[in-house]
Structure 1
Amino acid sequence: MGSTERLDHLDCQILMHLQRDGRSSYTALAALCGVSEGTVRKRMQRLEERGVVRIVGVTNPAKTGMDTVAVIWLRVERGRLSEVVSQINALPQPHYVAYTTGASDIVAIVTVESQEELVKFLARDLSSIEGLTETETSMLLRVYKQAYDWSPWPHQPPQFAAQEDSAVEALDEIDLQIIRYLQRDGRMTFVTIAEELGITESTVRRRVTSLLERNILKIAAVINPAQVGRTTLAMIGIKVDRQRLGDVARTLASMTDVRYLALSTGKYDLIIEVVQESNEKLLDFLVDTLEDIPGILRTDTHLLLKLSKESYDWGVAKGVCAAG
């Protein structure tokens, strides 16, 4: 999954504080870490340039009308894997694409606004890619857990409110433009956004505060797992005794190694993404942890060889925009 960069104590301190508040000011970070503001600025610049962390705005799909999510497993003709991955990456709907082992060559996650749009994507966009030999789609009925970091520290980054707090919210064009800027750079200053949009800084500040309080937007510190010593990633499909589904999901959600957990249709009941320090640690997780959970009937493990695309910009449904 890539080479590991050595991080010192100050690097780790900065990353931990950014996980708690991705927009924490340099002054606040300096005070928390006991160093100068200039030192924090230099360290953050280095961490970002090395690809250790990026701060991004992440929208809540349920609040923005983009609540149809699917995992697609794809098989490819021999010799055409890189070509097919490049074509999938170029499509706007897949926000996650990885090379994988197992029965599939590629796994992709797409987020769209409706099942109708998903059907169009599968029938029109995917079917036009030459070299694909087989696809299998699992719709995700509910995302139980989604963490945006891959850090070794025992801190859970911001997560969206519970399933019941998921009514679609109306957004106007200013909201959408602010979201787009923060999706590119979650630490972009309110002054810069205001200048770009031709509005006041106080308006931007008020709008962002509202988006955060309404659980429409989160500012997440996305940490590259390979850069913090977590070089083994896997997506695991799990078949569960239906009577124990809730208990199994709660148990998995409580595990720090499980960074993504969703209820799925198709051949799996649950799909999880796991990050580990090594293949040996992954084996320990499979044998010593998963096998001890009552209710799990079968697991299929897909080792993720390389993340080719990982975007947190999954758009906003057309009907969410309020009339201007």
Structure 2
Amino acid sequence: MDGRASFRRIAAVLGVSEQTVAHRYRKLRESGAVRVVGRLDPCYLGHAEEWVLRLRCAPSATLAVAKALAQRSDTYRIQLASGGTEISCHMQTSDQRARDTLLLDKLPATRQVTSIEAHQVLRLFRGGPDGWHTPIASLSPEQVTELTPPPPDPVPLDLDDGDRLLLGELAHDGRTHHAALAASTGWHESTVRRRITHLRASGALYFGVDFDEHLLGYSSHTLLWISVNPAALDAAGAALARSPQIAHAAATTGPTNLMATALCSSADALYEFITTQIGSMPGIQTVQTAPVLRIVKRAALL
């Protein structure tokens, strides 16, 4: 609900000790199961584009290509799908030259890459600041309310070099202590605290939580590429975003115009979701499914 909520606040809401929360978080963090990442919301800053790359590769080269993409600072959510021959990679960048170099030079020059599709994200229905809040029965509605941060009040914002340094540190670890952030930025600790509060309140900064969904029983992770009648696209995207099975949904350019990530407890649950919920939406023309075999990179975690 809030990646930067203090251990004291989480403990008070859950009715356990602060030491228990801190111990369990450190254990999950050290094992790679959970990581909090500070991210910029391009909607409020107006300088970045988001793309989804869909690459097909020779089976023997897919993992190597995915790992090379994962080393880039402008990529995230890199997944191997469709029996290991397909890579799905999200890219967010304000550097058009870097984007064009990757799409027009580097990838085409990689002989093991047999097909390249680049879909620009036109509208985000689920994801980013409005992340997937997995339904957890152990949290009451009152606890969810107590843990949910206040909504931002979007305002124009100009970032200076100090902000960029601060955001770079939070992108590495969104729970870095104020004292450590003060040391890296050269600001006073109170200034760091005040600036983070301001960036969050303006909507420019949000804290995403990378976590292994298998720990919560979601064994079926599937990419959906959907063709929708243009007149029904907005309604279909909004309906998908309301579905608890959907972790990410966006309208895109390309041969399909709506993509989503579905997390289900089993293959049978995925079948039910596709046939009953997606199948009943007006305007749906085709649905392509690509089961995810391996996640190479989440928001920032390799």
TM-score by length of structure 1 reads 0.81
Deviation string for 1:108-164 (max 9, x for gaps)? Answer: 1111216555333201232343411111111111112205456332769779879xx
Cα distance between partner residues in 1 of 2:212 and 2:69 = 22
Aligned residue among 36, 45, 50 for 1:55: 36
Say yes or no: does 1:287 pair with 2:275: yes
Alpha-carbon shift at residue 105 of structure 1 (Å): 1.5
1:171 maps to 159
Secondary structure of residue in 2 paired with 1:24: coil
Within 1, Cα distance between the matches of 2:16 and 2:84? 50
Residue 206 of structure 1 corresponds to which residue in structure 2?
A: 194
How many Å separate the matches in 2 of 1:235 and 1:250? 17
Shift of 1:34: 2.0
SS in 2 for 1:91: coil
**Greater shift in the superposed pair: 40-49 or 175-184:** 40-49
1:30 corresponds in structure 2 to 11
Q: Choose which of 38, 62, 72 in structure 1 pairs with 2:53.
A: 72
Map of 2:222 onto structure 1: 234
Q: 2:296 aligns with which of 308, 313, 318?
A: 308
The superposition leaves residues 178-199 of structure 1 with CA deviations (integer Å, 9 ceiling, x where unpaired) of: 1111111211111221122222
1:251 and 2:232 equivalent?
A: no
**How is 1:96-115 mapped onto 2 (pairs within 5 angstroms)?**
96-101=77-82, 105-113=86-94
- What SS does structure 1 have at the residue aligned with 2:270? helix
| Contact kept? 2:224, 2:289, Cα under 8 Å | yes
Report the Cα distance in structure 2 between the residues aligned to 1:246 and 1:149, rounded to whole angstroms.
19
Instruction: Check the 8 A contact 2:210/2:299 in 1, yes or no.
Output: no
Q: Unpaired segments of 5 or more residues in structure 2?
A: 138-143
Cα pair 2:172 2:300 within 8 Å, conserved: no
| Contact 1:149 1:222 survives alignment (8 Å) | no
Does structure 1 conserve the Cα–Cα contact (< 8 Å) formed by 2:246 and 2:260?
yes
**1:14 aligned residue:** none
CA, structure 1 residues 40+160, in 2 after alignment: closer, same or farther (shift >3 Å)? closer
* Number of aligned residue pairs: 291
Q: 1:134 to 1:72 in 2, by over 3 A?
A: same
2:135 is matched with which residue: 146, 152, 166? 152
* Contact 2:134/2:244 (<8 A) preserved: no
Does the residue aligned with 1:268 lie in a helix, a strand or coil? coil
Q: 1:85 aligns with which of 41, 58, 66?
A: 66
Shift of 1:28: 2.1
Q: Aligned-pair distance for 1:236?
A: 0.7
C-alpha change, 1:134 and 1:237, in structure 2 (3 Å) is: same
Residue 196 (structure 1) aligned to one of 167, 184, 207: 184
- Matched-pair contact (CA < 8 Å) for 1:99–1:306: yes
**TM-score using structure 2 length:** 0.87
Q: Which residue of 2 aligns with 1:11?
A: none
Cα distance in structure 2, aligned partners of 1:125 and 1:224: 31
Corresponding residue number in structure 2 for 1:222: 210
Structure 1: runs of 5 or more not aligned = 1-18, 314-324
- 1:261-302 deviation digits (Å, cap 9, x = unpaired): 111111111111111111111111111111111111111111
The reply to whether residue 268 of structure 1 matches residue 256 of structure 2 is yes
Q: 32-41 or 152-161: which moved more?
A: 152-161
Contact 2:58 2:85 in 1 (8 A): no
Give the 3-state SS of the residue equivalent to 1:62 in structure 2.
helix
Q: Structure 1 151/50 Cα, relative in aligned 2: closer, same or farther at 3 Å?
A: farther
Is the CA contact 1:237–1:301 (under 8 Å) kept in the aligned structure 2?
yes
- 1:211 partner SS: helix
Q: CA deviation at 1:65?
A: 4.3
Partner residue, 1:181: 169
The residue type paired with residue 272 of structure 2 is D
- Greater shift in the superposed pair: 259-268 or 245-254: 245-254
Percent identical residues: 26
Q: Tell me, in whole angstroms, the C-alpha distance in 2 between the residues paired with 1:142 and 1:116.
A: 23
Paired with 1:277 and 1:50, the residues of 2 have a C-alpha distance of 23
Tell me by how many angstroms 1:247 deviates: 1.7
Deviation at 1:172, TM superposition (A): 0.4
Contact 2:38 2:172 in 1 (8 A): yes
